[in-house]
Chains A and B, each alone.
Chain A
Amino acid sequence: MVGRLPRDPAPWGERRDRALGNSVLRGNIRSVTRRLADARRRAYASYPASQVLRVAGRDAKRRAVARVEPLLDELRDRLAANGARVIFAEGPKEVADYVVSLAARRGAKRVVKSKSMLTEELDLNRRLAVAGLAVRETDLGEYIIQLLDEHPSHILAPAAHRNRQEIHALFQETAEREGVPGPTSDDVGPLTAFARQRLREDFLAADIGITGANFLVAETGTIVLVTNEGNADMVASLPPVHVVIAGIDKVLDTWADLAAVIQQPALSGVGQRLSAYTTLISGPRAAGSPEGPEELHVLLVDNGRRQLVDGPYADVLTCIRCGACYNVCPVYRQVGGHAYGSTYAGPIGAVETPLLAGLDFLPELPKSLCTLCNACVEACPMDIALADHFITLRRRQVGEGREAAGTRLTYRAWGRLWSSPRQYQRFVSWARRGQRFMMRQGRLVRSPGLWAGWFETRDMPPIAPETFHEWWARRAPSGKTPS
């Protein structure tokens, strides 16, 4: 079954123009993506084992996706044996309903969360708020965008589109509203100190903690969280109830597989050999243990993933959400994440979103957000065939007749004329006659149909008075170069 993802109601053209018109956003995205891409390159270059590990990690993920159902069963049994409640959930509604009824049973009011793209995908915060729960994001970037009432613009750096000055102003405003002292300057130190102070109170007051999971190890029933801020540890251990919400694609077979892939999110994402915090959880508080949550609930979510397991796009499920493809993508670097219109952006977002939610959902993504430069293919640690997927998704859209009739006809005629040398020659003479009306100062400046977009911003030389074919025909008999 296809999944359900949130979407920006604004049409593509509006989202694109909004992004292109925002020079602060473009400047911020430009510097963040280049910084992260350079860090990744340096990390790989200075770490001789990195390629071998990367391939081992990739293979571990591929094996797991190929055997996802038995591995999920094993994971469930292991976790259940450790005292966790494991639930297979289909989509956004099932997940939200579960959390809401859990909160009702526990009389819970306050929820703290660590960073999770899946809960963004499930639009969980909004759904919980509707049910009367107070939700606080505790990852610094997520905290910022929650205060701004925005969505993440980057998979790893949710507030990548905002700079320090903007964040300082936001925290000042928050401080005034909440009647507390604001950050002393717009340096990173005071800004994080402010957030930490505010979040501490939320951690201590929370009834439920919600985290995602980077990996789930079936063999041992272990939930693995990889963070750089340590907030996930607090979310997972301070509140009396911990809820893990993870996609079914996060499962791995063995502990050895985990060892193979554990460095990748940080290595490919931010250019560190390992993230600052790696948290391993295998159950709720054991009898006699002084700390940890009383209850652990693990929701394993489909939302459009299962239908991909057996098809040509299964490798998409091996994505570890490192963001390396975002950081090198020329289009992402221009427009940032919000222009993509849903949760995931960058190359993987443009490919995975229509795969999860159906080809009708944001149909512009495969066509309008990729130049096929292949930079993402080069960067992706999991070797996901992103460029091929872009092309075959376009092929499916064309095949299913999702394209304007005029475009379709133009391609048909183009294909017919150009697949025969004789017809091609005829095309040349027609085009020569036609282009006389489209020139200025010896250059082509406009064109009808498919090509019109080019001339909005660029000129072209006209078709040459003598094509290479014509020149060769003139030269060929003697084998000598005509003057």
Chain B
Amino acid sequence: MERVDLFVSCLVDLFEPETGRAAVAVMERRGAQVGFPSGQTCCGQFAYNAGHWPEAWAMAKALLAALDAPPTPGPDGQERATVGLSGSCVAMVREEYPKLLDWAAGQPGWDTSWRVRHARVAGRLWELSQWLNRAAPAPSAHQDTRPTRVVLHTGCHMRRVLAAGGDAAAVLEGLGVSVATPEDEDQCCGFGGTYAMNEPKISTALADDKLRALRATQADAMVSCDWGCLLHLGGRLSRTGVAWSVLHLAQLVDLADRGELAPAQLARAGRFVREVP
């Protein structure tokens, strides 16, 4: 049995824990023994991107220590993967931490062993869709006859920094879900971490453009591998009084596994499905 440690990200932990629970179910169905390194909090990306590197480095160390810790109880001596539920955070750990390490190497209190720990952690870290795309398929529940149509929003770091843009679509298609492509699909949604707070006007103009393109596909739901983008886009839907099913890939795969993918079921399943007057 493959051991998989989950790296949920702070947004999933705090705001969307259902995504984490769905991921556990999905991975267990595919034969993984799932562990959760409980020392994890946040990868520090928001601080890193905003230029607050001492804070980012403190968080990075905490995360590396957590993900590099001995595994939670279970049969040992096996190949172990870590699976992240945010493309952007996985990109941060794999592709940006080396730059942070280079900087930290010039700071007081530097310990070279961080490079080793990073190499160990980064070497076995995958984003969920990457893992799913390579995992054995789950015993599939039967499908509704009308194929479900979702529109996939691929976050920019997932697409460009992690270069894992294609996996989620492949996973969805493997489940028989039809994936709509929005116009301008590779344009940023305007989230950008703290950018969404620093520059709300530009950030929101970008969200509105993105939502227009996503909604134009008339898909049953919007799916992504990043709750950052989804909370920004969904939060905008909520504020403008639009109800739409907004889901993380883990939740969609979980629904598919359980045979609950009919458009009507999907429309009730996600976040932001209820209209707020």
Q: Give A contacts to B, CB under 8 Å.
A: 16-17, 20, 34, 330-331, 333-335, 367-368, 370-375, 377-378, 388, 391-399, 411-412, 414-416, 418-421, 424, 428, 431, 440-443, 450-454, 456-464, 466-469, 471-473, 476, 481
Contact = CB atoms under 8 A, between A and B. Distances in A.
A421 B38 contact: yes
B182 interface: no
A225 B55 CA distance: 48
Contact of A418 (B48, B59, B160): B59
Contacts of B187: 330, 333, 373, 375
Nearest to B13: A468
Contact of B47 (A411, A454, A469): A411
A367 to B, nearest CB: 6
A456 B200 contact: yes
Contacts of B21: 468, 471, 481
Given A368-B198, A374-B156, A464 B15 contact: yes
B201 A17 contact: yes
Interface in B1-45: 8, 10, 12-17, 20-21, 24-25, 36, 38-42, 44
A368 B160 CA distance: 21
Nearest to A398: B51
B198 A371 contact: no
Given A457-B236, A469-B13, A419 B62 contact: yes
A330 B51 contact: no
Contact of A459 (B25, B99, B156, B238): B238
Contacts of B48: 391
Tell me if B's interface is mostly helix, strand, loop or mixed.
Answer: helix
A414 B55 contact: yes
Contact of B200 (A17, A457, A461, A481): A457
Contacts of A466: 17
Contacts of B203: 371, 457
Contact of B51 (A395, A457, A458, A472): A395
8 contacts: A388-B99, A394-B50, A451-B197, A457-B236, A457-B239, A466-B17, A468-B36, A472-B36
Contacts of A370: 192, 195
Interface residues of B, number: 71
B61 interface: yes
B87 interface: no
Contacts of B44: 415, 418-419
Given A334-B205, A421-B41, A457-B239, A412 B55 contact: yes
B273 interface: no
B198 A467 contact: no
Given A334-B205, A419-B58, A461-B271, A396 B197 contact: no
Nearest to B184: A34
Interface in B200-249: 200-207, 231-232, 235-236, 238-239
Contacts of B138: none
A481 B26 CA distance: 12
B55 A468 contact: no
